[in-house]
Amino acid sequence: MSKQKLTGFPAVVGTRPTILILGSMPGERSLTMGEYYGHPQNSFWRIMGELCGAAPELPYEERIAALKRSGIALWDVLKHCERRGSGDGDIRRESEIPNAIGALLKKHPTIRAVALNGGKARQAFRRHILPTLPDAVKARLTILEFPSTSPACAMISYKSKLKSWQKLAQFID
């Protein structure tokens, strides 16, 4: 399997976001579909269904609309990277190019929480983004770290993931 140069999706942001959920880089299935969290066994949309009505059985655009109505924005820490396959563990660290998350946070001062979806998102956020954020932005944010919703993170049950992700509810409009 050869390494691929990948480009993520643009940010999904409504008019008054209060939460920014950050993944690492979409998996192969998501990139092929052109949809965030496109793998059917990824528990992201099932969890968002519980939290804000963005259930997996809804068409993608309706799920996105439900997130926006709830004040949830979506993006990935990485804009570009090289990876073999679909897993976060296959991302070549030296190829990581971050998204302009600091600029997004500056443009949307209503964002009070950043939710990191999995270990690679947490690692890349701490390395590429957090050191670049102004103190005033850091002061207004609550950084939340959640277990990955990816099917590759199968050792954590859906019930445990949901319980953890329910901490987001306090920031949902």
pLDDT band at residue 1 under the 50/70/90 scheme: low
What confidence tens digit (pLDDT) does each residue in 110-141 have? 999 999 999 999 999 999 999 999 999 999 99
Any catalytic annotation for residue 117?
no
* Global confidence as pTM: 0.95
Check: CB of residue 17 under 8 Å from CB of residue 73.
Answer: yes
Helix, strand, or coil (residue 139): helix
Mind listing the pLDDT tens digit for each residue in 67-112?
999 999 999 999 999 988 777 877 888 999 999 999 999 999 999 9
Domains parsed from the chain with CATH numbers:
4-168 (3.40.470.10)
* Continuous H helices in the chain: 28-33, 44-52, 60-69, 101-107, 119-124, 135-140, 158-165
Are 80 and 92 spatial neighbours (Cβ–Cβ below 8 Å)? Answer: no
pLDDT score of 93: 87
Per annotation, catalytic residue among 42, 43, 148, 150: 42
